[in-house]
Amino acid sequence: ALASATAMRTESLSSHIRTSNRALRLGLTHEFKPRLHGAAELRRTSGSTADFVHNYRENAITASLNMQL
């Protein structure tokens, strides 16, 4: 299992532009058979643009299945 959370706020020293970002990730891996592995991850990312006028949000789900030959 995987879980991580990050928060970041940056400011440019020369232009004084600020941005803010947050991310949350949750994931699982599973061994179905000795040579067959799967993974799934849920991700949510949000933040603001440099002028704090526009916000954005991304929700994503990824899955993979790997078979070793």
| Per-residue model confidence as pLDDT tens digits over 29-61 | 999 999 999 999 999 999 987 766 788 999 999
| Residue 65 structure tokens | 């299945």
Q: Tell me the percentage of the chain whose pLDDT exceeds 90.
A: 68
Q: Say whether pLDDT at 6 is over 70.
A: yes
Which pLDDT belongs to residue 16? 78
**Residue among 27, 23, 58, 59 nearest 41 (CA):** 27
The answer to whether 2 touches 28, Cβ cutoff 8 Å, is yes
Write down the mean pLDDT value for the chain.
92
Which pLDDT belongs to residue 57? 94
